[in-house]
Amino acid sequence: MIEIFDMGKYDFYVWGSIGVFFFALLADYISVKAKSNHIKRLIKTKSRKTRNRSNQR
């Protein structure tokens, strides 16, 4: 089983690239989630403003 993880003299490059890949994947997920939350808040705010305007008439 341990032979699967042995990359010979390329250990640093292989595991480093896997680490960078997962870091980029995580950063992308966090970025999309933050943008989604921002858009949801924006929609709620606009919805409240529209509702308040219609109630004032």
The pLDDT tens digits of the residues spanning 7-33 come to: 888 889 999 999 999 999 999 999 999
Distance from C-alpha of 4 to C-alpha of 11, rounded to nearest angstrom: 11
Supply the pLDDT for residue 57: 64
In this structure, how many other beta carbons lie within 10 angstroms of the beta carbon of residue 33? 10
Q: State mean pLDDT over 38-49.
A: 95
Say what the pTM is: 0.70
pLDDT value at 56 more than 80: no
% residues pLDDT > 70 (the chain):
98
Distance from C-alpha of 42 to C-alpha of 14, rounded to nearest angstrom: 42
